[in-house]
Structures are given as C-alpha cells and as structure tokens.
A and B are shown apart, each in its own frame.
Chain A
Amino acid sequence: MQKNKLAKKVLLIGWDAADWKVIYPLIQQGKMPTLAKFISEGVHGKIKTLDPPLSPMLWTSMATGYRADKHGITGFVEPLADNSGIRPVTSTSRKVKAIWNILHQNELKSNVVGWWPSNPAEPINGVMVSNLFQQANKPLGEEWDMPDGTIHPKEMVDILKELRVHPSEMTGAHIAPFIPNIKDIDTKKDKRPVSVAKILAHAASIHAASTYLQRETEWDFMAVYHDAIDHFSHLTMKFHPPHRKGIPKKLYENYKDVVNAGYMFHDMMLDRTLQMVDDDTIVMIVSDHGFHSDHLRPKYLIKEPAAPAQEHSPYGIICMRGPGIKKGEMIHGASVLDVTPTLLTLFGLPVGENMEGKPLIQAFDKPIKVDTIKDWEKVEGECGMHPSDLQEDPWAAQEAMQQLIELGYIDAPDENISARINSTKQESKYYVARNLIDGNKTDKAIELLEELVEDNPREIRYGQRLAQCYLQKRKYAKCKDLIERLKDLQVIIEEEEAKLTEEEKKKKNRSIMKEIELPNYIDFVEGQLLMHLNRPKKAMVCFEKVLKKTPNSLDLYLNMGKVCMLRHKWEDAQEAFIKALSIDDTNSIAHHGLGLSFLRLNNYEQALDELFLAIDTNYYFPNAHYHIGEALVKTGNITEAAQAFEVAVSMIPGMTKAHKWLVDLYENELNAPDKAKSHKDFLNNNIKGKITIVSGLPRSGTSMMMQIIDASGFPVLTDKKREADNNNPKGYYEYEPVKKLMVDKSWLPNANGKAVKIIAQLLPFLPSNYDYRIIFMRRDMNEVLQSQQVMLGKEKDVKSKTFPLKLSEAFQKQLQKVEAWVDSQPNVEMLDVNYTDVLENTEEELHTILSFIEHDGNIDKMKEIIDKSLYRNKIKK
C-alpha cells in the first residue's frame, strides 16, 4: 500500500510533559546542547494537548489518531473484567489499531518501548517492551521477575531483563545533580530523594532497553516513551525557581534543581540516541502536554480524581529532523492527534479519513500529496493486536498501580471495592465526555453527562460541565434549570459541612479548594448564560462576584473581555484582556481579543502585534487571520493582507467576509482578476446577499424591534397588509410572502440589504445562499404565552391563571430546534435581545443593535418607539 515513502526509518521519542518554557532557558544557558542542535537542524513548535490532559488517553490518541471515545483508553485505571477490583489501563482495552499495527499490516517492523499503555505487549512484527518493564516489584538482591506479557517476543526477555535498573542501584553520584544537598536530607522523613532515584531508574531502564533495540534489531519504526519529566515535575515543580510565597525556603533549596536536571538528563540520553541514528532516519520528539513552570503553577489542587493533571499546561513540544524535513523553522498548529497521520504520511501510507488529526505537511521541504483511506479499521488481516478475549494478570500491574497512587493520580483503594469500581467507571465516562467537548462533539458529551448527573446528583463537577454544554448548544432553559439545581445543592452541601465537627472538618481538609471554588464556578457558568442571553450587565455582576473570591481566574477575564466586545466597549475589553495576559501571556484568545480591541480603536500597529501573537500560540485561529488581514489593509500592506484572508478561508471555506475582502483586494488593489474570480465565483454560487432578520416567538417583541429598526433609517421589508390593531397599535411590520417561506423562496432577493420579520419556527427554511444576521427577541415564556392568549381573545384563561403547559413545552422544543439550526449555519450571525432589557436599558441595547446591523442610525428616533405602556402582559417576579 506504500506509495511515496518519505522516510526509510522513523524514530518517535516521547517525553511526557516536556514544555518549551523550561527548555528554552536551558538551551540559552547551553544546558541542553543536543536538543538545541536538533531544532536548528529541523522544525519545532508547540503541540496542543486534548482535554482532559491525562497521559494514557493522550499517548493513545498520539499512537492512533483518535480521541478516547474511539480508542477506548479512558483514564488511568479500569475495572478488572470480573469486577473484582481495578487495575492500571491495559493495551487490551484499546479498541483500534495503533500505528505499529498498521505498519505490521504493511510488513514494516516496529520496536515500541514503554508506551503508555502497552501492557500486555502486543504480538507485533518487531519488539514491544511494555510500560510495566521498568517497575521494580522486589527489593534489590531478590529475584526480579519479568511478569508474563511484559515483552514480545519472549526470546528477548533474558536479554532485556538485565537492562532494568533497580532504584536501589542509584548512588549519590546519580542523585547529586538533582539534589546537591542530598547528604543533609533525612530520607527516612523526606521521601523525595527516594522518588527521584525511582524515576531516574525507570528512565535509565527504558533508555537501556531502547538503545539496545535501536542498535541490535532491524526496524522501520521505533517509538520510545519516557515518563520521567512528568514525574520529576509533579514531584518538585513547586520548588522550581523562582521561589514562590508559601514554599518553605529549606525545601526550595533542596529541590530547586530537580526539574532542570531531569531535562538535562533527557538531553544526554538524546545525545546517545542520535549518535546511533543514520542519515535516512527521521526523528520526532513529542510531548503530550506541557507543565506549568511559572506563575501559572496552581497553588492548590481542586480535590477531584486525577487532580495532579491540573498542573499540566495545554501546549507540549514537537520537533522533527531528518531527510525531507525543513531546517531551522517553526511549525504551527500541531495537535496530539496529528502524530499518527504524520507518521503514516512519512511511510507513504494513506491517512484514515476518520482520523481527527492531519499530517504536518508544513514540516516537509517539498509539497506532497496526502493519500487517504476511509478507515484503517476496515482493513482486514493480521495486525499484531491482541485477541479480544485476552486478560491481563492484575498482580503484575500492582506496582504500577502503587506508582499512580504515589503520584496522586489515583487514591489508595477504598475498602469498599464495588464503590471504587463504580467511581472508576463514572470518572472514565466523565473523561470521555470532556474529551468529546474538546472535540466539539457536544451532543454526544451531553448524553454522557446527563447520565452522570442522573446517577450522581451530588457531584457538582458533572453538573457544571453539563451546564456549559447546554450553553454551547443554546439550550438556555435547561442550562438555567440546572444552574438553579446546582445552587440549591451547594446550599445543602454547605449546610451539611457547617454541621461537621472540627475533627471531621480536618479530615475533609483536602477539599478546601472545593469549598471555595464551587459556588464561584456556578456564578461563572451563570454569568456565561446571561452573556448568551445578551444580559451583559447581569453577567458582569456574576463575574464580579467570582472575581472577588478568585482574582486570578484566566477564564473569568476572558469572558469579561468577551462581554465588553459584545457591547463594543473596546477600552473595557482591553483592560480585561490585559489582565488575562498578566495571568497567561501565551493565551491566544486574550491576544486576539486585545488585538481586535486595538483594531476597532484604529490602533493598527498594536493590533497587529497582538494578533500575530495570537496565531503564534495557536495557528489554527481563522478569526485571528481574518483580523490580521483587516489590520494589514488599514496599514497599506495589501499583499500580506490578501495572504492573511487566504489563510482564513483555507481554514473556514465558507467565511464569506474574507472572500469579499479578497475579491476587493485582487480586483482593486493587486490587479489579479484571475484570483478575484475564484472568490467571486464562490460568493456568486453561494451567497446572493445579506438579509437582516428580526425573529423570535410571536409576541416576543418582534414588531417593536422592526419599528425600532425602521426608525433608525435602516431599510425594512414590509407590505403593511396586516394593519395595526389593539394588540399592536404601532403596526405589525410583516411581509405576507414570508408566511410561505416553506414552499416559496422567490421573494428573498427583495429582502437583500433590508430587515424583514420572520417568526422563529420558519428560520430553518431559509436557504443557505444568503448571509443572515438575526436579531432574536427573547421574552419570558409566561409573558409570551399570556400575550398570545390575550391576542386570541382568551383573557378568561389569563384571569383564571390557566397556564398552557403543553404549549410552553412545545415552544421550548421549537426554540431548541431553531438554535440548533443557527449553530450549524456558517452564514448566520445571531444577536439575542431581551425584550425587557430594551424597555429598561434602552440606550445601551439600541447601541448594541446598531453596531450589530452595522448601521449609523438615529438613536433619538429609535428611542421614541419605545412605549413602556405597551408592556401590558407583565409577569410579576
């Protein structure tokens, strides 16, 4: 199946948690010379992790090209098949082929060393040394068994078992570079030096096995995984310079060198590895996530399973060197999911169309054509995977389990095994849901989270994630309902905690952050909901509540910035984004927000600085490229602007605003009519114009909004056939043909460039060949229904307070359908406008509406339309 093989051999080196923020200073000091040379001879950049940043899930995504819902590795532990307990995740739980299985099917040989998870070793064409290889299960001097399943093929066991390093073999000479004061530390009281010895012994074991296999066996692909940087970092990153308030000085002095020494040791191992690599081999070094090493280091960990993962940062490292790879260049936009597609491309094999990543072709020095295959899982034949019924000996995994407990990734086993198994299952489901959210598969995530919330009503974390998913899918009513339930639950929990004795409180001491964080977090989600409902003032109240208790919340400032941008308060937006950047100066959303604020305030140079920083951190950021284009046009850099718009449309082919710029620039500035034609054709074939729509449920204020827009001087489409009456004394502003939208769309050209009223239920019948901006009127459902009853002459029902519950539910469902449609349309922009806000907060709302329809209207005339006396069907709250 191989066509254009780019590499004779590929060596993939995994350094768990490696982060440029630690590496760059070490390179500058000449302390990582091998990596410095490596990146000068190849390409390097950041690699984006997936959420949750849990290593077994990530390394499996790296080796398969799929997320956890597809590959099946869903956390650190899994229940035993007979439900008698739990064990560390095993290779038998992986549901799809890894890269080495695909290579096996293509008669290529692989050596895989230490990959997580890879126990029991798979019967591949080559050698597999599992992730339990380095675990010492006996004291030094006793027979150190090699459990069955650790190595394939078995003939390699005798040679490789001698290459394991026991932690007790480590001497002062090995430990001193990490802990210069080792002689002054009482290791009976402080176990950190023992942990350093153990981590180092593990790294040395993996390195010894991999160097042996690298030299003594034939291979086409080799993958070596080291967990030491992650483990050194979890152990001692809190002591990494600079010293932070609250960290005991003595401990800081003892352990401040551990992390750096760990990286330097990896550089030394890399030196040896590269000495044995021939010129035909492409070498790739990757990490699965980064690790906060600066002021972003969390001071506390929120109590939850796998809490140490809160120390992980979202960007790891990727570097590549070898024949056909560019030299001395940076690559952008890499993801953990891109590794397998890139490896397949290097071997001239097609990339699975259902894989979620892409080959990193920007790293290659020549353009290449990427072949694809529908699904590698459908390719039949022996691939070196385990038979599905294989079971692993749990005792062999016990030591690895102990290590996970020591690292704090999992708790020591409960007495109640069944509860433990159940909580493992629930957490796995939660991790898959988070992974789905990360991959924009929100509907699937909602299914899982609804089950979790149903089964674990007291687990607020699950509810919070679900509330955010509802928000994303615009299921506002459900979101609001859930937030209320979470608030009630929080009150109950707080009351219960108030009743605890001092002793019980001490026992629960670890949950201190939980007590502080959770109520804030509910406020935060509520703030986001209010923002979605276009109630920025109320949203800001929620955010400010959170701000008081959690002054350094990045998400909070980002959301505050977004609110300000929605309100076109650019100076306030700047302030929020600057604060966000003071917390994380690499945050691409903050750089983009700040850049856009500068752009709207006509400060183009500073806008460009910030926008370039945004794409430097996250290259796949179509809106940042688009705004770079805008800023470049303003500064007269037309050619570069066109390039930026081209990048934006390459990322979102339906981004009509970028196509429009490109037509304009190519026709009027760059004298490139041929180039303009393709974008013009796109627009002609796809977009016939732009229509402004006022929508909502009947009686939600749509007529009032049409009147307001008319008063602003913006053209409106109405035939005034439906005359004003007592229900709408100022007129309905309707257009008769709209009612037949389901069957007749021929009238749409009449609406081009104008505003027209279309009820919510008809919106999904709009064709996709126009751009639409929709002002969507929101009003309390009770008020809407009451107003409708009155209009239908059912005042009696209103007086008797007979509430049409079924109708209310039906309307809610219809709204959800409409919101789902809006979400799926790239050519639709929507502004939610609250009816009550227009009446009570008129000036601000009208400004927002004008900026949304991009019209310089007459505010005073618009204000004259607002008649509070017409707010007759008001529900008292």
Chain B
Amino acid sequence: MTKKDKTVEIPIEGSLGILAHGDIGLLSWRKKRDLELKKKKTNTSKKNAKK
C-alpha cells in the first residue's frame, strides 16, 4: 500500500492509521491478516503432522 508515494507497512494486528485509510486500507489489512493466519494454520498443521 502506498501513501503519498511512501510504502506503508501493514501490521498483522492492524492499526487505526490503516482503518483511517478507508476501503483500501481495510481490504489490504484483511488480505495480510488472512494470509498470515493461513500461514500460521499451515505451519501448525505441519507441526502437528510431524508429531
């Protein structure tokens, strides 16, 4: 995501700044959050499978 030509890092837990960026901020955050959650889920199931 860019803001005035500046790349903004989206934290997985979100932030007020991202929400204040409106629809683009919201959708970008959800995308990142869901991706991270998916990754986490995959890692957990892999770990569980190894056990």
Q: Which residues of A contact B14 (CB under 8 A)?
A: 169-171, 173-174
Q: How far is the CA of A170 from the CA of B13 in the complex (A)?
A: 9
Q: How far is the CA of A204 from the CA of B27 in the complex (A)?
A: 12
Q: How far is the CA of A471 from the CA of B27 in the complex (A)?
A: 59
B17 touches which one: A162, A169, A215, A268 (CB < 8 A)?
A268
Q: How far is the CA of A204 from the CA of B13 in the complex (A)?
A: 15
Closest chain B residue to A273 by CB distance?
Answer: B22
A271 touches B20 (CB 8 A): yes
Taking the closest CB of chain A, its distance from the CB of B14, in whole angstroms, is 5
Q: Quick check: is A272 within 8 A (CB to CB) of the other chain?
A: yes
A173 touches B13 (CB 8 A): yes
Q: How far is the CA of A174 from the CA of B14 in the complex (A)?
A: 7
A208 touches which one: B15, B16, B17, B23 (CB < 8 A)?
B23
B16 touches A177 (CB 8 A): yes
Q: Beta-carbon contacts of A260-283 to B below 8 Å, as 1s and 0s?
A: 000001001101110000000000
Residues of chain B at interface, number, CB under 8 A: 15
Q: Quick check: is A209 within 8 A (CB to CB) of the other chain?
A: yes
Taking the closest CB of chain A, its distance from the CB of B26, in whole angstroms, is 5
B20 touches A265 (CB 8 A): yes
Which of chain B's residues 1-51 have a Cβ closer than 8 Å to chain A? 11, 13-17, 19-27
In the complex, the number of residue pairs spanning A and B with C-beta atoms less than 8 Å apart equals 54
Taking the closest CB of chain A, its distance from the CB of B11, in whole angstroms, is 6
B20 touches A207 (CB 8 A): yes
DSSP class of A's interface residues: helix, strand, loop or mixed? helix
Q: Quick check: is A212 within 8 A (CB to CB) of the other chain?
A: yes
Known contacts: A165-B19, A204-B19, A207-B19. The answer to whether A171 contacts B13 by CB under 8 A is: yes
Q: Which residues of A contact B20 (CB under 8 A)?
A: 207, 265, 268-269, 271-272
A174 touches B23 (CB 8 A): no
B19 touches A210 (CB 8 A): no
Q: Which residues of A contact B23 (CB under 8 A)?
A: 163, 208-209, 211-212, 215
Q: Which residues of B contact A208 (CB under 8 A)?
A: 22-23, 25-26
Q: How far is the CA of A348 from the CA of B19 in the complex (A)?
A: 36
Q: How far is the CA of A177 from the CA of B19 in the complex (A)?
A: 13
Q: Quick check: is A172 within 8 A (CB to CB) of the other chain?
A: yes
For A162, A163, A171, A271, the residue with the greatest tally of chain B CB atoms inside 10 Å of its CB is: A171
DSSP class of B's interface residues: helix, strand, loop or mixed? helix
Q: How far is the CA of A171 from the CA of B11 in the complex (A)?
A: 11
Closest chain A residue to B21 by CB distance?
Answer: A272
Taking the closest CB of chain B, its distance from the CB of A671, in whole angstroms, is 59
Closest chain B residue to A216 by CB distance?
Answer: B23
B22 touches A265 (CB 8 A): no
Q: Which residues of A contact B17 (CB under 8 A)?
A: 268
Which of chain A's residues 204-224 have a Cβ closer than 8 Å to chain B? 204, 207-212, 215
Q: Beta-carbon contacts of A139-171 to B below 8 Å, as 1s and 0s?
A: 000000000000000000000001101000111
A172 touches B26 (CB 8 A): no
B22 touches A173 (CB 8 A): no
Taking the closest CB of chain A, its distance from the CB of B30, in whole angstroms, is 8
Q: Which residues of A contact B16 (CB under 8 A)?
A: 173-174, 177, 265, 268
Closest chain B residue to A177 by CB distance?
Answer: B16
Taking the closest CB of chain A, its distance from the CB of B2, in whole angstroms, is 12
Q: Which residues of A contact B24 (CB under 8 A)?
A: 211
Q: How far is the CA of A170 from the CA of B21 in the complex (A)?
A: 15
Q: How far is the CA of A204 from the CA of B17 in the complex (A)?
A: 11
Closest chain A residue to B30 by CB distance?
Answer: A169
Taking the closest CB of chain B, its distance from the CB of A689, in whole angstroms, is 66
Q: How far is the CA of A211 from the CA of B22 in the complex (A)?
A: 6
Q: Beta-carbon contacts of A172-210 to B below 8 Å, as 1s and 0s?
A: 111001000000000000000000000010001001111
Q: How far is the CA of A480 from the CA of B36 in the complex (A)?
A: 74
Q: How far is the CA of A211 from the CA of B21 in the complex (A)?
A: 8
Q: How far is the CA of A273 from the CA of B14 in the complex (A)?
A: 20
A210 touches B13 (CB 8 A): no
A173 touches B26 (CB 8 A): no
A272 touches B22 (CB 8 A): yes
Q: Which residues of B contact A212 (CB under 8 A)?
A: 22-23
A162 touches B27 (CB 8 A): yes
Taking the closest CB of chain B, its distance from the CB of A4, in whole angstroms, is 33
Closest chain B residue to A207 by CB distance?
Answer: B22
Closest chain B residue to A213 by CB distance?
Answer: B23
Taking the closest CB of chain A, its distance from the CB of B36, in whole angstroms, is 12
Q: How far is the CA of A807 from the CA of B25 in the complex (A)?
A: 78
Q: Which residues of B contact A272 (CB under 8 A)?
A: 20-22, 25
Q: How far is the CA of A141 from the CA of B16 in the complex (A)?
A: 22
Taking the closest CB of chain A, its distance from the CB of B17, in whole angstroms, is 6
Q: How far is the CA of A467 from the CA of B42 in the complex (A)?
A: 73
Q: How far is the CA of A575 from the CA of B20 in the complex (A)?
A: 49
Taking the closest CB of chain A, its distance from the CB of B22, in whole angstroms, is 3
Closest chain A residue to B20 by CB distance?
Answer: A268
Q: Which residues of B contact A268 (CB under 8 A)?
A: 16-17, 20
Q: How far is the CA of A211 from the CA of B20 in the complex (A)?
A: 10
Known contacts: A207-B19, A271-B20, A272-B22. The answer to whether A173 contacts B27 by CB under 8 A is: no
A165 touches which one: B15, B21, B26 (CB < 8 A)?
B26
Q: Which residues of B contact A163 (CB under 8 A)?
A: 23, 26-27
Q: Which residues of A contact B15 (CB under 8 A)?
A: 173-174
CB pairs A–B below 8 angstroms (7 shown): A171-B14, A174-B16, A200-B19, A211-B21, A268-B17, A269-B22, A273-B22
Instruction: Please name the 7 residue pairs, one residue from A and one from B, whose CB atoms are nearest each other, closest first.
Output: A211-B22, A268-B20, A212-B23, A173-B13, A208-B23, A171-B13, A204-B19
Q: Given contacts A200-B19, A208-B25, could you give 20 more A-B pairs where the C-beta distance is less than 8 Å?
A: A170-B14, A172-B13, A173-B13, A173-B15, A174-B15, A177-B16, A204-B26, A207-B19, A207-B20, A207-B22, A209-B23, A211-B22, A211-B23, A211-B24, A212-B23, A215-B23, A265-B16, A265-B19, A272-B22, A273-B22
